[in-house]
Structure 1
């Protein structure tokens, strides 16, 4: 018989804390928000493993340590207006919503969006507006945002995302192409002024319809 809480403890202590996620508020949130309940039934036994979980249409659920690190790097405040591109199962959405004021989450795949809606309702997460659409090039409808998160990679990061940040806003994106991509944190210092920091190298599936690197032909 699997001890779920022991397995969750192992995930937090062995995967997440060792990846420099040490903020007590974030760690407590990971214990509180039951990740396995957001994982598709077919993969629920993998909910605590250090691996990406496949979703429909080529999307993936990021590794637990990646989810936790993203949340920590964004330093979310209770007053933050948040944009998430790629709702997936709604797990990251739930984490963001419990830390910020409101989350606008955009998902291109209607089946994923429907499942996320149920997951969030079941867990009484209500400060979220789910949108069906293509957010790969930006989603200005509710800008400016204090926080923007892209939950899949993009070969090129459109300027629209930076321009939709409020002063003091933070943007997390995984930028580049296989085999090496850069996890990037962009801060809006003042209107039109930004500071970019490369956090670590990684690799994950791209957003559907993400902007591609221009190919030069001779």
Structure 2
């Protein structure tokens, strides 16, 4: 059976994303245009627009479309923004941010995922302003600063070192806490924090809480 991806993409926006209070026109436009199916394994393409996480390999998963929509809306990316993404994954969110911002630098700890994400972007003719580097973001050093930072895996607490990479007026999106009770937050460069919504997400590699041993 041939899938009409443009139709299921529209249904995803209207039945999943918009009802979850994602109303920013530019975000809805990007999610309605970009071919999410091009960023998942061929064996999962029929599920590319379903309200589920999809496996990417190396224990990583692609976020649900609703979480991607809420993430993009929270970041409120502007055409002049420079963005740092922590965790490239499939490259789909990288592509979305690349459509909304001036430039995206995406860090991915797994070389195979980084290479596949670049292939996905190239095949979809997207991401000309997206640069992917293989790096452990929690130990990454840079003098560069960014207007927005997006962490695509959960953290127990927001890493202070990443906050130092924000420009004045910048903001960082993260999902923090201890599973299964986590909250999405937007942290401003001045340290103020806005709680956005509750969810549960797999931890960024190296960011999971230490195991609690009980006698």
Q: The TM-score by the shorter chain falls in which range?
A: over 0.9
Deviation at residue 213 of structure 1 after TM alignment:
5.1
Aligned to 1:198: 195
Q: 1:33 to 1:195 in 2, by over 3 A?
A: same
Deviation at residue 214 of structure 1 after TM alignment:
8.4
Aligned equivalents of 1:153, 1:101: Cα separation in 2: 25
Deviation at residue 142 of structure 1 after TM alignment:
5.5
Structure 2 residue 213 is matched with structure 1 residue 210: no
Aligned to 2:128: 126
Q: Note if contact 1:94-1:125 (Cα within 8 Å) is conserved in structure 2.
A: yes
Deviation sequence 1:168-212 (CA, Å, 0-9, x none): 101000111211111110112xxxx22101111111111111163
Deviation at residue 217 of structure 1 after TM alignment:
8.5
Aligned equivalents of 2:86, 2:150: Cα separation in 1: 6
Normalising by structure 1, report the TM-score: 0.92
Moved over 6 A (4+): none
Aligned to 1:18: 19
Aligned equivalents of 2:149, 2:55: Cα separation in 1: 23
Unpaired runs of at least 5, structure 1? none
Deviation at residue 8 of structure 1 after TM alignment:
1.2
Structure 2 residue 12 is matched with structure 1 residue 3: no
Aligned to 1:84: 85
Aligned equivalents of 1:206, 1:168: Cα separation in 2: 27
Aligned to 1:153: 154
Q: Note if contact 1:138-1:161 (Cα within 8 Å) is conserved in structure 2.
A: no
Normalising by structure 2, report the TM-score: 0.93
Aligned equivalents of 1:169, 1:101: Cα separation in 2: 14
Range that drifts further, 154-163 or 10-19: 154-163
Unpaired runs of at least 5, structure 2? none
Q: Note if contact 2:95-2:126 (Cα within 8 Å) is conserved in structure 1.
A: no
In the TM superposition, 1:135-154 aligns within 5 A as 135=137, 137=138, 139-141=140-142, 143-154=144-155
Q: Note if contact 2:26-2:100 (Cα within 8 Å) is conserved in structure 1.
A: no
Q: Note if contact 1:84-1:103 (Cα within 8 Å) is conserved in structure 2.
A: yes
Aligned-residue Cα RMSD (Å) equals: 1.8
Q: Note if contact 1:106-1:133 (Cα within 8 Å) is conserved in structure 2.
A: yes
Aligned to 1:109: 110
SS in 1 for 2:154: strand
Q: 1:138 to 1:196 in 2, by over 3 A?
A: farther
Deviation at residue 121 of structure 1 after TM alignment:
1.6
Aligned equivalents of 1:61, 1:142: Cα separation in 2: 30
Aligned equivalents of 1:160, 1:199: Cα separation in 2: 22
